[in-house]
Amino acid sequence: MKNIIIIFAAGLFFISCSSNQQKEMTSNENPFFSEYGTPFEVPAFDKIKSEHFLPAFEEGMKQHLAEIDAIIQNEETPDFEHTIVAKDQSGEFLTNVGSVFSNLNSAVTNEELQKIAKDVAPLLSAHRDNIALNEALFARVKAVYDNKENLNLDTEQAMLLEKTYKNFVRGGANLKGEDKERFKTINKELAVLNVQFDENLLAETNAFQLIIEKEADLAGLPGFVVDMGAADAKAAGLDGKWLYTLNKPSMIPFLQYADNRDLREKIFKGYINRCNNDNDKDNKKIASKMAALRVERANLLGYPTHAHYVLDNNMAKTPENVYALMDQVWKAALPNAKKEAIELQKVIDAESGNFKLEAWDWWYYAEKLRKAKYDLDDEQLKPYFELSNVMQGMLDVANKLWGLTFEERFDLPKPHADAHTFEVFDNDGSHQAILIMDFHPRPSKQGGAWMSSYRKQYKKDGENISPVITMVMNFSKPTGDTPSLLTFEEVSTMFHEFGHALHGMLSDCRYQMLSGTAVSRDFVELPSQIMENWAGEPEVLRTYAKHYKTGEVIPDELIAKMEASSHFNQGFATVEFTAAAYLDMNWHTLETPEEKDALAFEKEAMDKIGLIPEIVVRYWSPYFDHIFAGGYSSGYYAYQWAEVLDADAFEAFKETGLFDQETAKAYRENILEKGGTDDPMKLYKQFRGKEPSTEPMLRRKGLI
pLDDT tens digits for range 600-642: 999 999 999 999 999 999 999 999 999 999 889 999 999 999 9
For residue 10, the model assigns a pLDDT of 28
2 pLDDT more than 60: no
For residue 395, the model assigns a pLDDT of 98
Per-residue DSSP letters for 283-336? -HHHHHHHHHHHHHHHHHTT-SSHHHHHHTTSSS-SHHHHHHHHHHHHHHHHHH
Q: Assign 434 to helix, strand or coil.
A: strand
Indicate the pLDDT class of residue 133, thresholds 50, 70 and 90: very high
Indicate the pLDDT class of residue 4, thresholds 50, 70 and 90: very low
Indicate the pLDDT class of residue 19, thresholds 50, 70 and 90: very low
For residue 13, the model assigns a pLDDT of 28
pTM: 0.91
Amino acid letter, residue 543:
T
- Report pLDDT digits (tens) over 76-106: 999 999 999 999 999 999 999 999 999 999 9
For residue 15, the model assigns a pLDDT of 30
Per-residue DSSP letters for 68-121? HHHHHH--SPP-IIIIIIHHHHTTHHHHHHHHHHHHHHHHS--HHHHHHHHHHH
* Pairing state between β 468-472 and 405-408: unpaired
Q: Percent of the chain having pLDDT more than 90?
A: 89
For residue 198, the model assigns a pLDDT of 95
Q: Percent of the chain having pLDDT more than 70?
A: 96
Per the annotation, the verdict on 497 as an active-site residue is yes
287 pLDDT more than 70: yes
Please, is 426 exposed, middle or buried when counting C-beta atoms within 10 Å of its C-beta (0-12, 13-18, 19+)? Answer: middle
Look up residue 671 and give its DSSP letter.
Answer: I
For the CA atoms of the chain, what is the radius of gyration? 25
7 pLDDT more than 80: no
For residue 700, the model assigns a pLDDT of 87
Q: Count how many Cα atoms sit within 13 Å of the Cα of residue 496 in the half-sphere of its side chain.
A: 20
195 pLDDT more than 50: yes
Q: Across residues 341-362, what is the average pLDDT?
A: 95
Indicate the pLDDT class of residue 24, thresholds 50, 70 and 90: very low
Q: Across residues 98-118, what is the average pLDDT?
A: 95
Compute the distance between CA of residue 141 and CA of residue 149 in angstroms, rounded to an integer: 14
Q: Across residues 389-412, what is the average pLDDT?
A: 98
- Report pLDDT digits (tens) over 536-584: 999 999 999 999 999 999 999 999 999 999 999 999 999 999 999 999 9
143 pLDDT more than 70: yes
122 pLDDT more than 80: yes
596 pLDDT more than 80: yes
Contact between residue 171 and residue 183 where contact means Cβ atoms under 8 Å apart: no
Give the least confident one: 11-20, 291-300, 544-553: 11-20
8 pLDDT more than 60: no
Architecture of domain 383-513+524-564: Orthogonal Bundle (1.10)
Closest alpha carbon to 383 in 223, 260, 521, 583: 223
Look up residue 393 and give its DSSP letter.
Answer: H
For residue 58, the model assigns a pLDDT of 87
For residue 28, the model assigns a pLDDT of 61
H-only helix segments in 208-283: 223-235, 248-257, 261-272
Contact between residue 454 and residue 437 where contact means Cβ atoms under 8 Å apart: no
651 pLDDT more than 70: yes
For residue 16, the model assigns a pLDDT of 31
Domain with CATH 1.10.1370.40 in the chain: 19-132+134-170, 383-513+524-564
What rounded mean pLDDT belongs to the chain? 93
- Report pLDDT digits (tens) over 422-465: 999 999 999 999 999 999 999 999 999 999 999 999 999 999 99
Contact between residue 365 and residue 341 where contact means Cβ atoms under 8 Å apart: no
For residue 455, the model assigns a pLDDT of 97
Contact between residue 540 and residue 685 where contact means Cβ atoms under 8 Å apart: no
Q: Across residues 350-356, what is the average pLDDT?
A: 91
List 386, 490, 497, 525, catalytic entry:
497
- 361-381: string of b/e by CB count within 10 Å (b at 16+)? bbbbbbbbbbeeebebbbbeb
Note the Cα 178 to chain centre separation in Å. Answer: 36
Q: Which residue has the higher pLDDT, 124 or 44?
A: 44
Q: Across residues 300-312, what is the average pLDDT?
A: 97
- Report pLDDT digits (tens) over 652-678: 999 999 999 999 999 999 999 999 999
For residue 14, the model assigns a pLDDT of 28
161 pLDDT more than 70: yes
Indicate the pLDDT class of residue 6, thresholds 50, 70 and 90: very low
Contact between residue 583 and residue 621 where contact means Cβ atoms under 8 Å apart: yes
Compute the distance between CA of residue 316 and CA of residue 303 in angstroms, rounded to an integer: 16
Closest alpha carbon to 522 in 608, 593, 437, 584: 584
Give the residues across from 480 on adjacent strands.
none
Indicate the pLDDT class of residue 650, thresholds 50, 70 and 90: very high
Q: Across residues 223-237, what is the average pLDDT?
A: 94
Q: Across residues 493-500, what is the average pLDDT?
A: 98
Fold of 19-132+134-170: Neurolysin; domain 3 (1.10.1370)
Closest alpha carbon to 182 in 293, 269, 277: 293
For residue 39, the model assigns a pLDDT of 95
